[in-house]
Amino acid sequence: MTTAEMLRELPAGDSRSLPTLDGIAESLRRQGEDVEVVYSPRGDVFRIVTREQVA
């Protein structure tokens, strides 16, 4: 697993965070993981979570 794949949370205030996590999530999806990028107001971060956690 690469560093990028292990990275699952970035600050929402950084304009590069969402595109970065979207790319990582897409890579994880190609590997068979069912993930989404979501915003978490607690901590003001974007994070990658499984779809089960979203529901």
Residues ≥6 apart with Cβ < 8 Å to 22: 37
**pLDDT of 7 higher than 80:** yes
pLDDT tens per residue across span 10-27: 999 999 999 999 999 999
**pLDDT of 3 higher than 70:** no
The CA distance from 47 to 5, in Å, is: 12
